[in-house]
Amino acid sequence: GEDVEQSLFLSVREGDSSVINCTYTDSSSTYLYWYKQEPGAGLQLLTYIFSNMDMKQDQRLTVLLNKKDKHLSLRIADTQTGDSAIYFCAESISGANNLFFGTGTRLTVIP
């Protein structure tokens, strides 16, 4: 079955880089996503990567995908206090119409 795992908490100092990790079990993933949830708000898509890519960069965000190890990471460079939020990884699977979400990682940025 589909199992997406993340660590629950991460704290970093402002200006440092943050790396949020995610592992998944289904090898038929087609797209993998990172969503951000700010306090009191819904989930917003940050970025996504197609499963045949191994890296995608978008300004301060870098997504790395190791398909062999089924490992996905999100690196945020120069982390700001406004980056404090819960970050969810999710996967879509060939033949399925819904996304499978991880538990979310709560990122706290210390000024």
Residues that bind other proteins (CB under 8 A): 30-31, 33, 35, 41-45, 48, 88, 92, 94, 96-99, 101-104
Task: Report yes or no: 107 and 45 within 8 Å, Cβ to Cβ.
Answer: no
Angle at 109 between CA 13 and CA 70, to 5 degrees: 95
Give whichever of 47 and 62 is closer to other proteins, judged by the CB atom: 47
CB of 85 to other proteins, least distance (A): 14
Tell me which residue of 46, 51, 9, 8 sits closest to 27, measured CA to CA.
Answer: 51
CB of 3 to other proteins, least distance (A): 12
CB of 6 to other proteins, least distance (A): 9
